[in-house]
Amino acid sequence: MLTAVVTQSGSAFTVHLVATVPPNSTAEQTTSSEPMLLAANEVASVTATAEETIKPGPSPIAPELKEVAWGGGSFVVFAVLMRFVLFPRLKKGMDARYAGIRADHEGADATRAEAKAEVAGYEAQLAGVKAEAAAHIDAARQTLEAERAARLEVVGAEIAQHRAAATAENDAARAAVQSQIESAVADVSGRAIELAVGKRPDATVVARVVADVMGAGVSR
């Protein structure tokens, strides 16, 4: 079997005929090394025949049908997985997380409410203790005031008693001294009158006059 190999050099075409023998054949394979020059019309016919035998290849831009099928199938599978497997799991996880966060917030609110209630109870107890302490202080103050008033009354009575006794003693002493002074003044006055007049006056009259004069001086 002969095979034509066409080579182009400028405007000249060279054709080599190569004889091929099947592998099980014992015939010798011969190759013609002498180039064959062909005319332009023969080259054109050979080129046309070669172009007819060459089929156009796939487009590098447009995808093939199987690629579109594989892409569409993959998208459908991914969409189904997302809708029925992945998204439910994701939603379940998000719901669980939201429920956990909400439970934490509710627990924090409950703890805060309990703390406020405890603080309110403590403040109420503190107010009760303060009121009780104030009542005890008022009672103690009233007791002290009553005891002080009673003690002041006792002390005032004792002072009045001592003052009355002192006044009585003072009056008695003054009366005793006054009688002695009146006697002395009466003696001196009677002696002076006797020396002046030459006659001793009545002692009773002199004593009465001296008493009146001293009483008028004391009243002033």
pLDDT at 188 over 60: yes
Q: What single DSSP character describes residue 199?
A: S
In a domain, 47, yes or no: yes
Q: What is residue 56's predicted lDDT score, i.e. its pLDDT?
A: 59
Residue where one domain finishes, among candidates 56, 73, 95: 56
In a domain, 143, yes or no: no
pLDDT at 165 over 50: yes
Domain ranges, residue 49: 2-56
Contact by Cβ (8 Å): 32, 16: yes
Q: Rounded to whole angstroms, what are the CA distances from 94 to 81, 83, 89, 99, 104?
A: 18, 15, 9, 8, 15
Residue where one domain finishes, among candidates 38, 56, 74: 56
Mean pLDDT computed over 40-59? 53
Looking at the structure of the chain, the number of domains it has is 2
Contact by Cβ (8 Å): 42, 49: no
Distance, in Å, from the CA atom of 171 to the CA atom of 182, rounded to the nearest integer, reads 16
Model pTM greater than 0.75? no
The label of the residue with tokens 């011969």 reads 30
**Sheet (strand 36-37) strand order:** 2-9, 12-19, 36-37
Q: Which candidate, 43, 12, 48, 16, places its Cα nearest to that of 32?
A: 16
